[in-house]
Structure 1
Amino acid sequence: MEKTILVAIDGSVYSGNSLEYLANLFGSDSSLSLHLFGVVPSGGGGKEWMFDVDPLRSQSAETDQRASRARKQLRDAEDRLVRGGISRERIATKVRIATSVSGAIRDEAKHGNYDSVVIGRRGLGSMGNVFFGSISGELVEKCHNVPLWIVDGRVSAERFLLAVHSRPSSLLAADHLAYMLKNRPGAEICLYHSNSVFGAQQAATAEEFHLQWGKEWCDKYLDLDNFLFYAHCQLLVEGGISRSRIRQLPAQMHLDVGSDLLRQAKQHGCGTIVIGRRRRDLAKGQLKGVSDKTLKQAQDLAVWLAG
């Protein structure tokens, strides 16, 4: 089955970083295709909202210029990926005019058959108000139907840190990671559990895993008293990752789990942190959960939010 990734492009160095990241990881993976998506914000005049409901309505000259610039940015992005080893046949492009950039990305992610959405973010320690700073924040808050990959700065290390915990969302993140890496036999993954000294997360019951993985599998592999280290490893192995490429790091407790994940990633040479997202109805406010705190402080790292 072919894997398809939606990549938000705006022609900035930040989206360029995401292209470099994808080419480094998947340049030799012929089972993966990339859909480059550019959004033209229709601003000014007060009536541009009509373009969303009536795409045949005549566009302003300014919007036409923005669309032409966006198409050139997509061509440049495609050429950059080809130079990075991804064949042109594996790349598709699309430009959309919309009043909300993040809304257009969410809509495309919702209605397209994508395995993940990739967006580059300004390489700062907090989400700024520049184009991809604010857009990435909105997507983290509102886009829950497709895994999100946020690329901050330039990512050089190719090892992965999978943040494990005793919840179904964590196993779903492991399943996503295994699926995306199954044609990269050399991928290395570190399993790590960090728990907060205050307000430690309560483990799920075994029954909460049965719907997704079945009682028989759960009875055999669930190790709830060990933060599901064994279960995560089993899912990765079943997904095609060699057990010799999976390393379990000692579990620890810290005041700030998000900062600890970043510290562990740096210490063990991991360029990507993979985190299982809480369900939308259980999620806390912006920058309050572990995943949001990790994103806020990430620099020269990619963070995958899945689950």
Structure 2
Amino acid sequence: MERHLLVTVSEKYDNLFAVRFVGNFFATKEEIKVTLLYLTPRPPRVFEADQETEFQAGKSEAIGRKALNQAKGELLKLGFEEDQVFTRLRPRRLSKVNEIIQEGSEGKYDAVVVGRRGLSWMEHAFNESVTRVLFEGTWDFPLWLCRKPEPERKHVLACVDGSESSNRMLDHVAFILKQAQNHDVTLLAVSRKGKVGERNAEEVLKKGRALLVEGGVSTDRIRFKVIHEVSPGKAIIKEANGQRYAAVAVGRTGAGMGLLKKVFVGSVSRALFRELEGAALWLA
């Protein structure tokens, strides 16, 4: 089955982190389709339109098309074929975060991939309303956040807690890794006294393995790790950096208040969002 990824693009060639992550993560590109998205600035309201604004709109479109062509060229250099890469120029009418979410929902993509520039949009607007959009909204696609991913990294760290959201995340990891055979997966349970929330850590890991196998990942590609740590965010970052994982996958909500939401609004203060570098963060 084909995997279709939406990858956001900026005009800065040096900031094509999302593009390069996708190109480097998949050793073989068969069954992968990529749509590159560039958002132009908000168009003026009708009564504000004049010759100057029309000129600026045309200039923005030209910049966007150049950025899309550069990003496409980068993917072709990394092994994609011409007919696997599509481009989309979208005039922005909402906030950039909401525009990406709307495009991701409308396009039925298997994941939306955001690079450093997209992350800066989110950081700039990171307040209560954006937190709700990211963690409590109705968007139903996985989101990959790429801050300076390192191309030589391998494998996926999947952080599990036995919740429905965690299980959905594992479905997504299995769907991607069934194609990306060059990567294995480690199931990580951040435990307190043998429990992940109210669940037994060992049972959470066994259930996680079953879901991955059901999704097409062979047992020899699945490993386990239990860390006894009060702060999930610190534990995840330390493990990701120590073992140099290419991606860290977390469910968007979890047991109780939600693992990911705790990481973002608790004492770790959004550490995973702002401090995870080298590896992509997959929210599913």
Answer yes or no: same fold by TM over 0.5: yes
Report the Cα offset of residue 291 of structure 1: 10
By how many angstroms is 1:186 displaced? Answer: 2.9
Q: Hey, what does 2:68 align to over in structure 1?
A: 74
Counterparts of 1:1-307 in structure 2, within 5 Å, are: 1-12=1-12, 15-42=15-42, 47=45, 60-99=54-93, 100-121=95-116, 130-131=120-121, 133-134=123-124, 138=130, 140-141=134-135, 142=137, 144-156=139-151, 157-195=153-191, 201-203=197-199, 226-249=202-225, 251-278=226-253, 284=261, 287-288=264-265, 292-306=270-284
User: 8 Å contact 1:6–1:118 — kept in the other structure?
Assistant: yes
Displacement, 1:119? 0.2
TM-score (norm 1): 0.77
| Residues 65 and 27 of structure 1, relative CA distance in 2, 3 Å threshold | farther
Do the aligned residues in 2 keep the contact of 1:7 with 1:117 (CA within 8 Å)? yes
Which range moves more in the overlay, 167-176 or 22-31?
Answer: 22-31
In 2, Cα distance between equivalents of 1:291 and 1:245:
33
Shift of 1:140: 3.1
Question: Which SS does the other structure have where 2:211 is aligned?
Answer: helix
User: Could you list the per-position Cα deviations for residues 226-259 of structure 1 after superposition, in whole angstroms to 9, with x for gaps in the alignment?
Assistant: 242112112212222221111111x222232101
Give the secondary structure class of the aligned counterpart of 1:193: strand
Answer whether contact 1:38 1:70 (CA < 8 A) is retained. Answer: yes
Report the counterpart of residue 211 of structure 1 in structure 2: none
The answer to whether the 8 A contact 1:262-1:294 is kept is: yes
List runs of 5+ in structure 1 lacking aligned partners: 52-57, 204-223
Per-residue CA distance 1:190-226 (angstroms, 9 max, x = gap):
11111368x96234xxxxxxxxxxxxxxxxxxxx562
Paired residue for 1:209?
none
Q: What SS does the aligned partner of 1:270 have? A: coil
Q: Deviations over 1:150-176 (max 9, x none)?
A: 001132312111101121111111110
Q: TM-score, normalised by structure 2?
A: 0.83
RMSD between superposed Cα atoms in Å: 3.2
Task: After TM superposition, give the deviation of residue 59 of structure 1 in Å.
Answer: 6.2
The change in CA–CA distance for 1:282 and 1:14 in structure 2 (over 3 A counts) is farther
Partner Cα separation in structure 1 for residue 211 and residue 48 of structure 2? 47
- CA deviation after TM superposition for structure 1 residue 177, in Å: 0.4
Which amino acid in structure 2 is aligned with residue 240 of structure 1? G
Q: C-alpha separation between the residues in 2 aligned to 1:87 and 1:256?
A: 43
In the other structure, the counterpart of 1:215 is none
Give yes or no for contact 2:26–2:182 (8 Å, CA) kept in 1. Answer: no
Question: What is the match of residue 220 of structure 1?
Answer: none
Unaligned runs of 5+ in 2: none
For the 8 Å contact 1:40–1:101, the answer to whether it is kept is no
Distance 1:39 1:122 in 2: 12
What amino acid sits opposite 1:73 in the alignment? A
For residue 3 of structure 1, report the CA deviation from its aligned partner. 1.1
> For this pair of structures, how many residues does the alignment match?
270
State the secondary structure of the residue aligned to 2:217: coil
Relative to structure 1, the CA distance from residue 195 to residue 291 in structure 2 (aligned partners, 3 Å threshold; closer, same or farther) is farther
- One-letter amino acid matched to 2:21: Y
CA gap 1:267/1:18 in 2 versus in 1, 3 angstroms: same
Structure 1 residues 168 and 49, CA gap change in structure 2 (3 angstroms): farther
